[in-house]
Structure 1
Amino acid sequence: MMKKLILILFTLSAFISNGQIEKSKKEEDLIKKILTDPSSEEIQEVLFDLRKQDLSPKNVVIQDSMQLSNTNILYIISHEVNGSTHYGAVIIPNRDHLKKLPVIVFATGGDGMHNQFDITQDFNHNAAQFPSFLGEELDKEFIVVIPSFRGQQMIIGDKKYQSGGDIGDAFDGATTDALSFLNVSIKTFSQIDASRIAIYGGSRGGAVALLASARDKRIKRAIVVATPTDMKKLYLLYSEQFKLLFFNDLLIGKITEKEARRKFISMSPIHFIKQLPMVQLHHDKNDPFVPVEFAKILIEGMKTDKKTIDSYFYNEGIHGFWNDKNYWKRVQDFIRPLSD
């Protein structure tokens, strides 16, 4: 009797194991299909659909305002994206005379698992600390727009503002959020000159900066730091995390294979090089999280398409915000023509 029971349990265990292997193989085969390089026609179709999105401001409310120590005014604004309430911050220079000013959008980093960012801390580096974002000279020359992305909590001081939505939608969805909040800012503040827009982002924020620039022709310059540019290569580096964050909806049947492929194409800046404006790129040669190859891929693609890209490499072995004194001066010099 015991031998028979052991045989049954062994057979059942083997059946379950084989079933799991078969399921895993099906999942891998499905993901491989999603990862197949898209045709130029497929990319154009995705871009056309993205540019058709309704990003018009909805249910806009100025929730709070405060004067910063440099006398600039910070506004907290809520609005609606895809049925969820989102928040963002806009910093308006306190100037003696009113005139139209250029905009720089700051896109936060993160990988779909970091659910908070602090405006007073997360953008600080050697050359500029809150309330300065650009450096004393340019802080009075640019309006700063800071969107929070879906599922993120934006913190300033003791106040917290929770945006709705799926935090795992950290590239395609975050780009929609950035452009939606840019539109909110333009509608809310008449001081904004919508013909002079730059965007700055590091890590995930750099990918968002490139994707937003490709979707919206109003963005004239993009500064990207330690940026993943090719999502297929990023998947090969972080496959388990990628499955959890970006393929889970597909694997549980929440979205179709076609929808998953469209989203995956829309996440990868390398597919939209032809649409990019002038780009300034910063990357460490020994970045521990996003290897320098991601920068080289973008540079090669932009040069092939005869697009303008200024690239700078560092040797500190970190993931952005270098001690190199020239780093922020290069950023300032790149955006300064928009303030002239």
Structure 2
Amino acid sequence: MNALIRFSTFIGNTFAVWVIIFAVLAFVVPGGFQWISPYINILLGIIMFGMGLTLKFKDFKQVITAPKEVITLVIAQYTIMPLIAVGLVFLFQLPAEIAIGVILVGCSPGGTSSNVMTYLAKGNMALSVTATAVSTLLAPIITPSLILLLASAWLPVSFSSMFVSIIQIVLLPIALGILVQYLLGNKVEKAIGILPLISVIGIIGVLSAVVSNNVENIISSGLLIFGVVILHNLLGYLVGFLLGRVLRFDLSDTKTVSIEVGMQNSGLAATLATTHFSPIAAVPGALFSVWHNISGSLVANWMSKMKQNSQDSKQENNMSEENLNNIKN
């Protein structure tokens, strides 16, 4: 078991590398990965169940103890990235299906990878975990509402269908994970060490399925989409960081806002695109999955070298490897 946990930790720590490797393989040998497509929803559900297993009721205490930071971050998550997405769609005059995909990424909740990047950046991990959890739990209402508001001009959008999908593949698995963790307690703690491995397999499965079914679309429009994805992600980091500064958050919280805003649950975006729109609409989410793990690692490394004030240093000292393992999924 210990060997498996060590292997799981290694895979989690080298996640970005595996994402790139399998994205390239799925592009070069699509036939080897297309069989995964019918299982995309199941894979994402497993990832969300793993997230639920790592959450405890005490993780939400930040909502009470630091409501300003949590509420600000969640609002920023659901306003900054959607507005940037719409702006990029108009700026580059993107075709309807690609436009939907970009907006889907912008309207998705925070990605769980952001928790790991926040740790590496020496940010406020408690705030990161809470904000990711809260934005994810709000996703069944907010994500389809935003899609209906912002994307219905391009293609028909069904709020009810997307609501049901997000309940099924996000909310129910998370709730089940929290319940299992609450009922089994210490028994679950022993298994949490292998969650990074399970999550990486799930995310790579979703990514590989989307890429393998969109090889022609990526060849014809991939460069444009990738450029938009990079801008979307980097502008999210930048605007998030500036927002933290404007609101006079300390450096630790400012880093967290930047990373949480910039990193999205792009796996969910790709899944919703495949289920409710078209295969090409899933390409922005797939490319975002590849890119934001690369950029997140680089940004986190840069942020970790920023000068810490006394309060940030105290928060940093309170972080532990155990915390990191508990939030990786």
Give the TM-score of the pair, scaled to structure 2.
Answer: 0.29
Task: Identify, as 1 or 2, the structure richer in helix.
Answer: 2
In our comparison, the structure showing a higher alpha carbon Rg is 1
Task: Identify, as 1 or 2, the structure richer in strand.
Answer: 1
Give the TM-score of the pair, scaled to structure 1.
Answer: 0.29
Higher relative contact order (CA 8 A, sep 6+): 2
